[in-house]
Amino acid sequence: MITDTIKRFVGQLFGQRANGGLQRTGKELHGIDRRNVSRHAIKVCEVLHQHGYQAYIVGGAVRDLIVGLEPKDFDVATNATPEQIKPLFRRSRIIGRRFQLVHVVFGPEIIETSTFRAPASQEQETDDHGRILRDNEFGTHEQDAVRRDFTINALYYDPSTEEVLDFHRGVEDLKKRVVRMIGDPRTRYREDPVRMLRAVRFAVKLNGTIDPGSREPIGSMADLIHNVPASRLFDEMLKLLTCGHAMDCLHQLRQDGLHRGLLPLLDVVLEQPGGEEFIELALERTDHRVRAGKTVSPSFLFAALLWHQVNLRCKQLIAKGEQGMQALMAAADSVLDEQTETLAIQKRFSADMREIWFMQPRFERRLPKSIWRMIEQPRFRAAVDFLQLRAAAGEFDSVLAQWWMDLANAEDAERATMIDDLARQPREGTAGAARARPRRRRRGPERTGGESSGSESESGTTASGG
Ligand code: ATP
Ligand code: MG
């Protein structure tokens, strides 16, 4: 009797300190329908099982399946090493330098397969603030669970038994929609400050809360975000903005004091008067797209978030006598420079953002000749979408915006008619429209580069401040 009580007590003590004790949850409790699990992820697990290894689907996919959301992707965790995994799959590659893992490729789907990892140890290399710089030791299954961030992210689904292995009572937390850090929250935030942003994102996404103990330190530790490399912050910001609940996330970040100085971008978004409407529209639209399972272009999103600022700066420069397009370009440069200090907006995104912005003034005057050149630009479609946003925010004529949208949606022959009609109409803001001779375009895909190059003036690209 007494030994039982002692045993239970010791068990509880260790359970809480170490891992809460492994719990195996059956289908009736976790509710995962195997049909919603990627068959490729199941395949990876099966092959590894056949070769005598442990293998589970893990992380975000299990979390999302349990709450009935569609997972973005599927990850597998196993006790096989990358060298042992790779030969088992015809199309696979080892990636990563510090911590190697294997990408198993099935057409467009990649199953990221990683070896159980050990948690942070004393010997681990950290920066002056305790941020872990390397995290590359293989470990046991139990250790792998300890080094994960939140209890809801440390769930392992075994497709062969349809059980969920849970070392940290993650299923229980998930049912209560509580985001709870594994281990000591302060230590874990210090090791990796990005976890603070992740806590907010998951709480919003699950329509739940951050456990008070995991939330409390965030206010005083928010500044640690400054030590995180810009490229990583950018990735996390992108996840946050495309999680389907962007605006809620931003408001939550503000409440937790995570926004100020964290990213200049967020200061702009949340604190600049006048800019909100446009941004709210952009984010609402993004949320809708995400929830409808459509793709979201990061360039479009960031172009929208920074537009107000670019516009303001552009107007200031024009007031100082700068020419329209020059002012717009200079404004774009200065805003992007400022952002990239903290948030590494990669070159490929910033180039697209510039294209989207620089096309905006050209929508104001419909010059038949330059319209064909605009259509040929790779970001034309995105720029027209952007124009719709501006129209919805009341900063561009909505009838005109719709004309551009129709043009973007039309086939080439239809486009030719639209542009011809336009050329026949009385002039529109510029002599260019009246001067251009109506010219019927032949049907079918036809290159317009030759005729539009050379003589055309750049008058259509003048930025007008309004
Ligand atoms: P989503 O993909 O929806 O953003 P996720 O939970 O799958 O969410 P990933 O970044 O794909 O997030 O990471 C996969 C898993 O790796 C997580 O579920 C978690 O177990 C672990 N993980 C990711 N980032 C961290 C981190 N910073 N610290 C500890 N564990 C992490
Ligand atoms: Mg994931």
The per-residue DSSP string of 43-92 comes to: HHHHHHHHTT--EEEETHHHHHHHTTPPPS--EEEESS-HHHHGGG-SSE
Kindly give the distance from the C-alpha atom of residue 198 to the centroid of ligand 1, in angstroms, as a whole number. Answer: 8
Query: Average pLDDT of 95-110?
Result: 91
- From 195-209, 261-275, 347-361, the region with the lowest mean pLDDT: 261-275
Kindly give the distance from the C-alpha atom of residue 445 to the centroid of ligand 2, in angstroms, as a whole number. Answer: 41
Tens of pLDDT, residue by residue over 42-70, are 999 999 999 999 999 999 999 999 999 99
Which ligand has the shortest distance to the CA of 239? Answer: 1
Arithmetic mean of pLDDT over the chain: 83
Residue 213: both structure tokens together:
């103990």
In which element (H, E) is residue 102 found? strand 101-106
Question: Which residue, chain included where needed, has tokens 């942003």?
Answer: 197
Kindly give the distance from the C-alpha atom of residue 59 to the centroid of ligand 2, in angstroms, as a whole number. Answer: 7
User: Which residues are designated catalytic?
Assistant: 73, 75, 149
Query: Average pLDDT of 406-430?
Result: 83
Question: What residues are paired with 57 via a beta bridge?
Answer: 76, 157
C-alpha angle 201-203-204 in degrees, rounded to nearest 5: 65
Tens of pLDDT, residue by residue over 159-206, are 999 999 999 999 999 999 999 999 999 999 999 999 999 999 999 999
| Domains along the sequence of the chain with CATH | 15-176 (3.30.460.10), 183-262 (1.10.110.30), 278-455 (1.10.3090.10)
Tens of pLDDT, residue by residue over 2-38, are 544 454 444 444 434 344 589 999 999 999 999 999 9
149 lines ligand 1 (CB under 6 A): yes
275 lines ligand 1 (CB under 6 A): no
195 lines ligand 1 (CB under 6 A): yes
Ligand 1 atom closest to the CA of 148, numbered from 1: 30
Neighbours of 292 (CB within 10 A): 8
Taking the complete model, does pTM exceed 0.95, yes or no?
Answer: no
Q: Residue 423 — very low, low, confident or very high, per pLDDT cuts 50/70/90?
A: confident
